[in-house]
Amino acid sequence: MTRKKDIDPKTVALQKKGAFNRRADQITDPLFHEDEFFDPKDLVQVKYEMLRRVRKDGKSVTEAAAAFALSRFSFCEAQSALNRDGLPGL
């Protein structure tokens, strides 16, 4: 049985906001394994970093989407949302 103190409050908050990444364990991008600032459970952060990898680091959409355990379609949706609404769109 899970005790209340065993529940990660950030995970609960992400779930409540619809921003919990269920594929966190599938991310292969090095940033999310080298620095605790990057949280693979935070879907907004994951999408932003995926977009940044393409725009600023010159990665292909296919390569970035795969590294962040998302589809090319998800990349396009995230890109449109960010362009239209900024970070709240993600």
pLDDT tens digits, residue range 50-84?
A: 999 999 999 999 999 999 999 999 999 999 999 99
Query: Looking at the DSSP assignment, which residues form a beta bridge with residue 70?
Result: none
- Name the H helices within the chain: 9-17, 31-34, 43-55, 61-67, 72-85
What DSSP state is assigned to residue 79?
H
**pLDDT value at position 7?**
79
Over 90: is that where the pLDDT of 1 sits? Answer: no
pTM of the model: 0.89
- Residue 28, judged by CB atoms within 10 A of its CB (0-12, 13-18, 19+), counts as exposed
pLDDT classification of 2: cutoffs 50, 70, 90: low
- Among all chains, which residue has been given the structure tokens 């209340």? 4
2 φ/ψ angles, rounded to the nearest 5 degrees: -80, 130
Q: Crossing angle of helices 43-55/72-85, nearest 10°?
A: 90
